[in-house]
A and B are shown apart, each in its own frame.
Chain A
Amino acid sequence: MWLPSYATPSERIMRTLVVAFAVSVLLFLIAPLFIIVPLSFSKDPFFTLPVREYSLRWYADFFGNARWMNAIANSAVAAVMTTILATTLGTLAALGISRPDFPARRLIMALLISPMIVPIVIVAVGSYLFFGQFGLTNTRTGLVLAHTALATPFVVITVTATLSTYETNLTRAALSLGAPPSAAFFRVTLPNILPGVISGAIFAFATSFDEVVVALFMTAAEQRTLPVQMFSGIRDQINPTIMAAATLLLALSIILFAMLALLTRRRVK
């Protein structure tokens, strides 16, 4: 990283420029996110920078407001259910697709991850029309199912990646030692692919917890999730409580990704 002592002045200038460019790209990426943090601690009821006086009043408002609390509970329940469903389905799909004799692997993989690629509005409209046939719009079940479709690809990808370094002979050894297939999976395969499964679960949770477009289509007032509540908050009354909600959401994301980083670091070891 650091230049050797014999670097010429032009090399030093070059290096400085590269570093400056890299830093500005990073700022460009994250600055909009961190603008909201000081705003959420501002005492003023309108958005002004720099912040003149700090207070926790918007946080108090957030935690004291039944609508926000309801939204957070809705989001958490939907996200947890989505995580359980998507992790189970995604892990099973990854196990199947990783078998050496699996036919048309690339095609099936493309189908499995297509919810990640298709524009989110299309997924939302499609889900709305499709689930409407079964009376699942404006229900939590419908929201969880739609979010599961969005979250499963993340699990498939992380678990498939872990399986690519997993030694299949471990499963075979468990079987040859007399373990029934289910025991071989839970006692040998799963513990060894767990980092991939947990990363997938974290992605699945974040996908559902942060998702707004599908949730807008699929929920009525009672199932309104946190992002939907924020969205309608912006539309109706601009209010720094939204900044407090956003900061909390940001903190959650950072915690989730820190967990992910810890997990991958342990796997490298």
Chain B
Amino acid sequence: MNFAQRMSLATDNPVDALVRFEDVKKSYDGINFVVKDLNLDVFRGEFLTMLGPSGSGKTTTLMMLGGFEQPTLGHILLDGKPVERLPPEKRNIGFVFQNYALFPHMTVAENVAFPLRYRGITGAAAKEKVRQALGRVSLDALGDRRPAQLSGGQQQRVALARTLVFEPSLVLMDEPLGALDKQLRERMQIEIKQLQTSLGITMVYVTHDQSEALTMSDRIAVFHDGRIQQLADPKTLYDEPSNRFVASFIGENNTMPCTLLGREGGVAIARMADGTTLKAAGANVSGTGANISVSVRPENISLAGKGVRAGLNRFSGKARDVFFLGDHMRLSVEAFGGQLVTARIPARQARHFALGEDVVLECGISECRLLEA
């Protein structure tokens, strides 16, 4: 059963939600709300990512769940019980911090053994658990080192081992890979995901890196301006963004302002700035207001083929910028009276375009989405 299915089963069933945010609001100064009306369920065994730019409220939400901040209003339920007043040390939640927060005055093994003492595990039993935890992150030989003697990636693993050693039911991570270089980051993404799956841990992960979120998550909550803009699995999020912010934050998108003329069947007719019309797959745009746009991803725009086919929008423009990038070509075209539209042309179709040359492009109607701001 995948998470989309489980989600549909669980929507009305709070038992399956390990964490539930109920109308949570947070303000530090009593005037501005960093988190506004948060309602979110985290399911058992799920990898949920809170994705958003800095200042969007995602880290504050994580801190409230960890117990380091208190919600101004609303409730946080852990396993069905409200925990707003429960201090962090009583929540039994694992927390991996941005800069690992390893204790510099202790060895790696002492770091990993730290949580065991407060769970009554000492002596040989503790040693065995530490050994297992370090083995799980392939650091068996480094137990006697100090954190300062380790590389960034190794420190990250120690932080993971220290969190996993007490087998928390819920692990929170605050941009844990931010300080690593790209290659290491990608390897750690896979490792963390594998650990999470094999141990069946529920994980709430905060990042501003959309590719990280897409790689690891079962579901992604996109945060902006203190609200969840969309909560969905990675594919839905990418293919069916629910508003303009999500469309531009996840991957790349051409956002073209338009007005809604009407609907034909399930397809909306949009009039662009220069009067030409595009057809777009429905989406949930209600009114005919001015703040509407057609959104289409560069990889879904191609050079127009011969003959007109059904199910395609066709439009023309003048070539502006052309970049050849090896496997593909980026072609920016000025269309709809001044709007720049970028297309990603596969390398085998690439050819020379002169500046200002007339280009005819097409894109599938089902890939054009009508969005509100």
Which residues on A are within 8 Å of B, measured CB to CB? 167, 169-170, 172-181, 183-184, 187-188, 191-192
- A176 touching B87 by the CB < 8 A rule? no
| A182–chain B nearest beta-carbon distance, Å | 10
Query: Which residue of B95, B98, B101, B166 contacts A170 across the interface (Cβ within 8 Å)?
Result: B101
- A178 touching B95 by the CB < 8 A rule? no
Binds A, one of B114-122, B335-343, B361-369: B114-122
| B170–chain A nearest beta-carbon distance, Å | 11
Q: Which residues of B contact A180 (CB under 8 A)?
A: 89, 118
Residue B68 at the chain A interface, CB threshold 8 Å = yes
**What string of 1s and 0s marks CB contacts (under 8 Å) between B65-96 and chain A?**
01110000000000000000001110111110
- B95 touching A176 by the CB < 8 A rule? yes
Residue B238 at the chain A interface, CB threshold 8 Å = no
- B87 touching A175 by the CB < 8 A rule? yes
In Å, the complex CA distance between A167 and B162 comes to: 18
Instruction: Give the number of residue pairs across the A-B interface with Cβ within 8 Å.
Output: 63
Query: Which residue of B67, B87, B98, B162 contacts A177 across the interface (Cβ within 8 Å)?
Result: B162
- A172 touching B88 by the CB < 8 A rule? yes
Known: A172-B66, A172-B68. 20 other contacts (CB 8 A): A167-B101, A170-B101, A170-B103, A172-B101, A175-B67, A175-B87, A176-B66, A177-B89, A177-B163, A177-B166, A178-B89, A178-B118, A178-B166, A179-B89, A179-B115, A181-B87, A181-B89, A187-B114, A192-B103, A192-B104
Residue B309 at the chain A interface, CB threshold 8 Å = no
In Å, the complex CA distance between A183 and B118 comes to: 10
| B177–chain A nearest beta-carbon distance, Å | 16
In Å, the complex CA distance between A266 and B118 comes to: 31
Which residues on B are within 8 Å of A, measured CB to CB? 66-68, 87-89, 91-95, 97-99, 101-105, 114-115, 118-119, 162-163, 166
- B94 touching A176 by the CB < 8 A rule? yes
| B284–chain A nearest beta-carbon distance, Å | 39
- B105 touching A169 by the CB < 8 A rule? no
- A177 touching B68 by the CB < 8 A rule? no
Q: Which residues of B contact A191 (CB under 8 A)?
A: 105
In Å, the complex CA distance between A248 and B97 comes to: 51
Q: Which residues of A contact B119 (CB under 8 A)?
A: 178
- A177 touching B66 by the CB < 8 A rule? no
- B89 touching A169 by the CB < 8 A rule? no
17 inter-chain pairs at a CB distance below 8 angstroms, sorted by A residue, are A167-B99, A169-B97, A172-B68, A172-B101, A173-B101, A173-B102, A175-B68, A177-B89, A177-B114, A177-B163, A178-B118, A178-B166, A179-B115, A180-B118, A183-B118, A192-B103, A192-B105
Q: Which residues of B contact A177 (CB under 8 A)?
A: 89, 114-115, 118, 162-163, 166
Query: Which residue of B92, B97, B103, B104 contacts A178 across the interface (Cβ within 8 Å)?
Result: B92
| A214–chain B nearest beta-carbon distance, Å | 38
Q: Which residues of A contact B104 (CB under 8 A)?
A: 192
- A172 touching B97 by the CB < 8 A rule? yes
| B90–chain A nearest beta-carbon distance, Å | 8
